[in-house]
Amino acid sequence: MAFKETRKSYQKEEFNDFGLGGKATSGHYRVLNKDGSFNIRKENVPLFEKFNFFHSLVSMSWTKFLVVVLSTYFCVNLLFASLYMLVGIEHLTGIRGSTATHQFMEAFFFSAQTITTLGYGQVAPTGLVTNIVAATESMLGLLGFALATGLVYGRFSKPSAHLKYSENAIIAPYKNINGFMFRVVNPRGNQLLEVEANVSLSVLRENSAMRDYYSLELERSKVVFLPASWTLVHPITDESPFKNLTAEELMRRDMEVIVVIKAFDESFSQSVYSRSSYKFDELQWGRKFKYLISHDNGRLSIDISGINETEEAALND
């Protein structure tokens, strides 16, 4: 067909590769999931690599994180309560319970008061071993708390670009030709700077299971700021890999458009990346995006909720 073979396999400057290659992603396949994660699973990963303590605890949801913290707290107190029982409950002054259950309960709460460095003092340790256990426990409590502080800060300061992508990409009239378009907004209050997009087309090779990757030239691939919405436009010129391709053909060749957007997040003063992709069934033909910005008295408003709204538009030939 009319695909221009812009993929050069032996060239140093090329950057637009996903570490997968045409053979690995052969057949019908989605490279990037809608949320930007990779559609690939790693097997036989060594356990200590897989379970990276900090990374796991920083990435999990807040609910899960709280459950982990509170159950660790519970278990550690169980452990120390057992230790106090083992050493001899008589070395804790102020214990009133006479049954083992009651005494264990009191040892448990004494442990809680010790590990949080609360120390009411109603119950207090006497004797060498019990004192050693209590002194160690309060120290470990402080270290555990140092850990929790680091984790909480790590969770908060983890930068991420929460760009919102239009659900569908469109083929819309653009100047006297047509263009492949989608748009993004930054719904957050933070400012993104030096926003830069890298868009690629992945299709199966004609009469083959191999997959080819094409870089898509954008009308504008960088903007200084992203205060409102940004419509990314790939003009379908004669050089475009989209040229002469129909919706049916894109489906048959299992089209996927892969988007990577890089930006500088001013709040965190760090670079952030956002990824997404469009499959053939997320591409609408002969539509254009509705305008999101309204004016009133020298101030602009942008309606974030309208990002997916399109209207019919006759395509150019």
In the region spanning residues 193 to 252, those forming contacts with a copy of itself, defined by CB under 8 A, are 193, 195, 198, 217-230, 235
Cα 124 to Cα 203: distance, rounded to the nearest angstrom: 72
76 binds a copy of itself per the rule CB under 8 A = no
Among 5, 12, 63, 98, binds a copy of itself (CB under 8 A): 12
75 binds a copy of itself per the rule CB under 8 A = no
Alpha-carbon radius of gyration of the chain: 29
Q: Between residue 282 and residue 301, which ones bind a copy of itself under the rule CB under 8 A?
A: 293, 295, 298-301
Q: Which stretch binds a copy of itself (CB under 8 A): 78-86, 112-120, 243-251, 278-286?
A: 112-120
Nearest CA to 226 among 260, 184, 198?
Answer: 184
**Going by C-beta distance under 8 Å and a sequence separation of 6 or more, which residues neighbour residue 198?**
15, 16, 215, 221, 259, 260, 261, 262
35 binds a copy of itself per the rule CB under 8 A = no
104 binds a copy of itself per the rule CB under 8 A = no
Sign of the four-CA dihedral 278, 282, 287, 291 = negative
17 binds a copy of itself per the rule CB under 8 A = yes
**Bridge partner residues of 295 (DSSP):** 300
61 binds a copy of itself per the rule CB under 8 A = no
Q: Between residue 130 and residue 169, which ones bind a copy of itself under the rule CB under 8 A?
A: 131, 134-135, 138-139, 141-143, 145-154, 156-159, 162
Tell me how many degrees the CA angle 127-129-132 measures, rounded to the nearest 5.
Answer: 105
CB of 267 to a copy of itself, least distance (A): 6
* # residues near a copy of itself by CB under 8 A: 126
99 binds a copy of itself per the rule CB under 8 A = no
**Going by C-beta distance under 8 Å and a sequence separation of 6 or more, which residues neighbour residue 241?**
3, 4, 6, 201, 203, 214, 216
88 binds a copy of itself per the rule CB under 8 A = no
67 binds a copy of itself per the rule CB under 8 A = no
Q: For a copy of itself, give the closer residue by CB, 82 or 116.
A: 116
Q: Which stretch binds a copy of itself (CB under 8 A): 21-29, 83-91, 245-253, 277-285?
A: 21-29
Length of the chain: 317
* 131 three-state secondary structure: helix
Do residues 306 and 292 make contact, with C-beta atoms less than 8 angstroms apart? Answer: yes
